[in-house]
Structure formats: C-alpha cells, structure tokens
Structure 1
Amino acid sequence: MTYSIQIVIDSEDPHTQAGWWAETLDWRVEPTDQDFIDKMLAEGYAQQSDLIEHNGIRVWSTGEAICRPDEDGKTGRQRILFVKVPEPKTVKNRTHLDIRLDGDDKDAVRTALEKRGARFLYQGNEGPHIWYTMTDPEGNEFCVS
C-alpha cells in the first residue's frame, strides 16, 4: 500500500503564509467549511477562541492549507498545511520547497517574488542547471529553478 503525504510548514502567521504561497504556486487556499465550524462549536469540540476572522471569514486559528485548484476537496490531493507555532524561525531549514518553473523566466519570477516579500539569497548551479535560493516572507528557504 502506498501513502500520500501532506507537507506541513510551521508559521508565525499561517493564514498570510497560505495566501502568499497559494499565489506563488497558482494554487488556492482551501475553503473553510462554515457549517462544520458551527457543528464543532455546537457539539463542544471547539470554542470561539479556536477561531479567528481572516479576510472576513471565520477560520481555525491554528492553520490553513493550500492545494492545486483541480484537486480541491479530493482525497489524496497534494496539499501544504501552514500551522501556527509560537516561536519565529531561527535556523536554516532542513527541508525546503523547489518551485520548478517549467519554462517560465527565472529572473522575471524572482523579481515578482521579491516584490511580494521574498528575499533572494544566492544563485546555485550544477553543470548547466541554475537555480535561485530565496526565502518567503517568514524566512523559509525555497528554490526557483
């Protein structure tokens, strides 16, 4: 039996990070099921303190997920979950995301990402393969290739 995985990224502000990464990858923030929230509140599994309002919608305060638009709601979908942690990022990532541009101009993508809060760290290469190592607005490393 094979298993699917979900990538989880610790965040100071998971909702803002989810929005930033959804825009970066052309994915979508998964919608929060308001009826499910109401049910969890009514049954005592959740409290109002478990929720915040983000972009005018009640969401779970602890995290937000993104997925590919064509996989929204599907079991086994590719998914990145951003979860709230109390401490800021302090050391280098042991794991990072590689954004594979599939022919888009690396320099134009880099410039666009920098305008949205990413930071360029350095250019790397192996033979003719060149990539940019950058950080997202919370300092998490990722590569553009």
Structure 2
Amino acid sequence: MTYTFQVTIDSNDPHVLADWWADALGWEVEPTDEAFIRRMVETGQAGEDDTTTHRGALVWKAGAAIRHPEGADRAPRVLFQLVPEPKTVKNRVHLDIRTGSDDPRTVVERLIAKGAVRLHEGRQGPFTWTTLADPQGNELCVTE
C-alpha cells in the first residue's frame, strides 16, 4: 500500500507564514470557506475563539495551507499549524527550493527582501546552495 502526505510546519502565526511561503514558492494559499466556518460556529461545533480574521476573511485560527497551483498530484500540500511556543532549535527536516531556470542568487535576494535571513552557503562538488531561515526561523535551502 502507498500513502500520500502533507508537510506540516509549526508556526506562531500560520496565516502570515502561509502567505510568505506561497509567495516564495509561487504556490497558492488554500481558500477558506467562510460560510462553512460560520455554520460550524452557529451550530456549536466550533467556537468564536477557534477563528480569526486574516486579510479581511474569516479563517480557522489553528492553521493555513498552501498548495501547488497544478494540484496535489504535482506536490504535497504544506500546512502551517498554530503552536504556542517559538522555534528554539534547528529543524530536523527542511524544504529545499529548486529554482529550475531561475537564478538561485536572485531568488535568495528576493526572499531576503521579504524577511528571510541568510544562514550560510553550502557546497558539495559541483552543487551549491544557500541556507536561509524564513521569517519565523524555519530553515530552507535554495539551489538550482
């Protein structure tokens, strides 16, 4: 049997981080069904404290997800889930962004301009990469 998966990243502000990563990858933030959320609150299946407003839309407080514009068959969904504690140690897993025909240096500079922090440059044989931290400290690498 085979399984599918999503990648889940802890966050202290999941909607803001989902926006950042969607922009970084050229992906889409999954839309929110405000009518469904209101119905859940009105019928007592969720509380007002389970929701928040982000960019003028009613959303679930607990998380936000992004997806590849070509769908789940192209790449796994990435979910940013709300956690109370800040990131304190190095990630054991991180995402590698492969830039394809885009110049990785240009991508790195764009991400830094949007709040990423350069951590270090790496090299193994002919392969090079730049390790960054997103605005909440999660590591990522940018390579060709």
**TM-score grouping bracket, smaller chain normalisation:** over 0.9
Q: Is the contact between residue 51 and residue 60 of structure 1 (CA under 8 Å) also seen in structure 2?
A: yes
Which residue in 2 is equivalent to 1:51? Answer: 51
Q: Percent identity?
A: 50
Give the TM-score normalised by the residue count of structure 2.
0.94
SS of residue paired to 1:66 = strand
Gaps of 5+ in 1: none
Letter paired with 1:108 = T
RMSD value, Cα: 1.5
Deviation at 1:143, TM superposition (A): 0.2
Using structure 1 for the length normalisation, give the TM-score: 0.94
Tell me which residue corresponds to 2:90: 92
Query: Measured at CA, do residues 77 and 130 of structure 1 come closer, stay the same or move farther in structure 2, by a change above 3 Å?
Result: closer
Establish whether residue 111 from structure 1 lines up as the match of residue 104 from structure 2.
no
Contact 2:68 2:74 in 1 (8 A): no
> Does structure 1 residue 135 correspond to structure 2 residue 130?
no
Match runs of 1:1-145 below 5 Å: 1-71=1-71, 78-145=76-143
Q: Give how far 1:129 is off.
A: 0.4
Cα offset for 1:48?
1.0
Whole-Å separation in 2 of the counterparts to 1:77 and 1:120? 26
For this pair of structures, how many residues does the alignment match?
A: 143
Deviation digits for residues 20-52 of structure 1, max 9, x if unmatched?
000000001000111211221232110111110
Q: 1:143 to 1:75 in 2, by over 3 A?
A: closer
Tell me the CA shift for residue 108 of structure 1. Answer: 0.8
In structure 2, relative to structure 1, the CA distance for the partners of 1:109 and 1:76 (3 Å cut) is closer
Query: Aligned letter for 2:111?
Result: L
Q: Secondary structure at the match of 1:69?
A: coil
